[in-house]
Amino acid sequence: MGLNSDSSVNRLKGSSRPIMSQIEREYALQACKYVDEVHIFEQDTPLELIEKLRPDFIVKGAEFRKEDVIGLGIAEVLLFKGPFDISTTQIIHRIERGGALAD
């Protein structure tokens, strides 16, 4: 699995991000039974990593469009809709307004 480094997230999302460090995010991903390895990359996109690893599948959230996913044509793109439709930005907004994460 590819994981943006802290510096990559900061460049892409702004100075207040990431919320969790790359070590914390890596640990959470490694705890998933379907994740064999986590590869942290410094670039703004995972293209270099995808070209190097040549995975069979690229899995992204259902909010993406297959034709926009980096690596399409190198690997099959699968879109996954999890049990919760929530983003880090939504979590930040809930915290700022004092709302519960489950509302």
Provide the pLDDT confidence category of residue 102 given band limits of 50, 70 and 90.
low
Please name the residues in contact with 95: beta carbons below 8 A apart, sequence gap of 6 or more.
101
Structure tokens at 5: 């480094």
Alpha carbon of 94 to those of 5, 91, 102: distances in Å?
25, 5, 10
In whole angstroms, give the CA distance from residue 23 to residue 6: 9
The structural domains of the chain, with segments of one domain joined by +, span 2-96
* pLDDT number for residue 101: 62
pLDDT, tens digit (0-9, with 9 covering 90-100), for 2-50: 999 999 999 999 999 999 999 999 999 999 998 999 999 999 999 999 9
The 10s digit of each residue's pLDDT in 52-62 is 999 999 999 88
Report the C-alpha gap between 92 and 102 in whole angstroms.
13
Across 75-80, average pLDDT: 95
How far apart are alpha carbons 8 and 60 in whole angstroms?
18
Rg (the chain; Cα; Å): 15
From 31-35, 88-92, 99-103, the region with the lowest mean pLDDT: 99-103
- Residue 39: which of 48, 47, 49, 31 has the closest Cα? 49
Kindly report the CATH number that applies to the domain delimited by 2-96: 3.40.50.620
pLDDT for the residue 103: 52
